[in-house]
Amino acid sequence: MAKSTINDIAKALNITPSTVSRALSGNTRVSAHTRKLIEEKAAELGYERNLLASSLRKGTTDTVGMIVPRINRQFFSNAISGAEAILNPAGYNLIIVQSHERKDDERRAIQTLMRNQVAGIIISHSLETLSPEAFDDIIEAGIPLVQFDRIFASVKGAFVSNDNFSGAYIATKHLIKNGYKHIGHLGGDTQSNVYSDRLAGFRSALADADMQVDEKLIFTDCITRDKGFYYMAKALESNCDALYCAGDYAALGVIEYARHNNIRIPQDFGVVGTANETFAEVVSPALTTLEQNAFDMGNRAAQAFLNIKSGQVDNGDKALAINVPMRLIIRESSIKQQD
């Protein structure tokens, strides 16, 4: 009933706890005989090692903390799975905490993880977090830190992000190629690297095609469905005929506005989103969008942690920046029909 300890096992077998500990941690310097006895007794008593005690003694844990804004977003939950897929086989457990896009929650999350003596922290910071003071604590405590997706480049440690610039560039170029002439952008707060890079990629694609950027068609607080709906109306007032959206939810709002107002997508208007949310394939017309490869990013973030941990790279080494390419998934919403 009550939890048993190595002392219980030792007493039951008339040996010392140290021998039990050795046997149970796979140490070779225990006779095959006693090892067997110990293992049997452990099973009989339902013994489970107390990781609090073990970690306290060893001074390290096998736990990695991962902080994400929200887990109910495909991107983050898949990134988590990607990290797990690397960490579990490597003997680490992953503990997940949500920041709910709030700075205070994030700070608390960092504190909780540090107090729990995690072996490392993998984080995509909240949108409310505009500067990385809280991250410095992590580095100062000597805890390996990996930022992913949303990055403060000034912080030491590794980071893994999408190649947002190139992704946006490709998406925009795709709209240009398809004959749209007056292309706008629905983006997010440019204080975030994610959205500033996407905006930059958008601008760059237009520039390379010798097309003017109409500043009236650039919106940088538009990552929700409602805002997408709203700004689509605004964009149309300025004769917009296509939008590259930095998020699928905004793109969804665009599609819905078009449907309600009998604007034909893709014939009259083109849309490309970003993220490939589950609904992108299902909405009608199906949404062309940029795949973020979340699983892969989680994978690489975890790998970066392992690299730091194994001493292969220094935590303060800036060579650890990884850029994951984004892939354009072409569906109906951007393929202008010739009529």
The residues binding DNA (CB under 7 A) are 3, 5-7, 14-19, 21-22, 24-25, 28-31, 33-35, 47, 49-50, 53-54, 56-59
By beta-carbon proximity to DNA, the closer residue of 142 and 215 is 142
* Residue 184 φ then ψ, to 5°: -115, 180
Do the Cβ atoms of 84 and 38 come closer than 8 Å? Answer: no
| Nearer Cβ to its own copies (98/307) | 98
| C-alpha to C-alpha distance for 316 and 314, rounded to whole angstroms | 5
Q: Does 53 bind its own copies (CB under 8 A)?
A: yes
Q: Cα 99 to the chain's mean position, in Å? A: 13
Of positions 48, 104, 133, 226, contacts its own copies by CB under 8 A: 48
Binding partner of 312, given its own copies, DNA, none, CB within 5-8 angstroms per partner class: none
Taking CB within 5 to 8 Å according to partner kind, which of its own copies, DNA, none is near residue 116? its own copies
* Gap between the Cα atoms of 232 and 248, Å rounded: 14
Q: Which does 130 bind (CB under 5 to 8 A by kind): DNA, its own copies, none?
A: none
Minimal distance, residue 218 CB to its own copies, in Å: 26
Report the partner that residue 5 touches, choosing among DNA, its own copies, none (CB closer than 5 to 8 A by kind).
Answer: DNA
Closest separation between CB of residue 54 and DNA, Å?
3
Q: Which residues pair with 147 in a beta bridge?
A: 123, 159
Residue 233 interacting with its own copies (CB under 8 A): no
Q: Applying CB under 8 A, which of residues 26, 46, 91, 311 lies at the interface with its own copies?
A: 46
- The pattern of x and - marking residues 250 through 279 that bind its own copies according to CB under 8 A reads --x------------------------xxx
| Look-up of token digits 């109910």 | 72
Strands 327-329, 288-291: parallel, antiparallel or unpaired by DSSP? Answer: antiparallel
Q: How far apart, in whole angstroms, are the C-alpha atoms of residue 233 and residue 247?
A: 17
Among 39, 101, 128, 137, binds its own copies (CB under 8 A): 137
**CA-to-CA separations, 48 to 1, 142, 219, in angstroms, rounded:** 12, 30, 56
Residue 84 sits at the vertex; the CA angle it makes with 79 and 88, to the nearest 5 degrees, is 170
CB of 106 to DNA, least distance (A): 23
Q: Which does 230 bind (CB under 5 to 8 A by kind): DNA, its own copies, none?
A: none
- Cβ 108 to DNA, closest distance in Å? 18
Among 86, 97, 235, 290, contact with its own copies (rule: CB under 8 A):
97
Residues forming the site for its own copies (CB under 8 A): 1-3, 46, 48-53, 55-56, 61, 63, 70-72, 74, 77-78, 80-81, 84, 93-98, 111-112, 114-117, 137, 140-142, 252, 277-279, 282-284
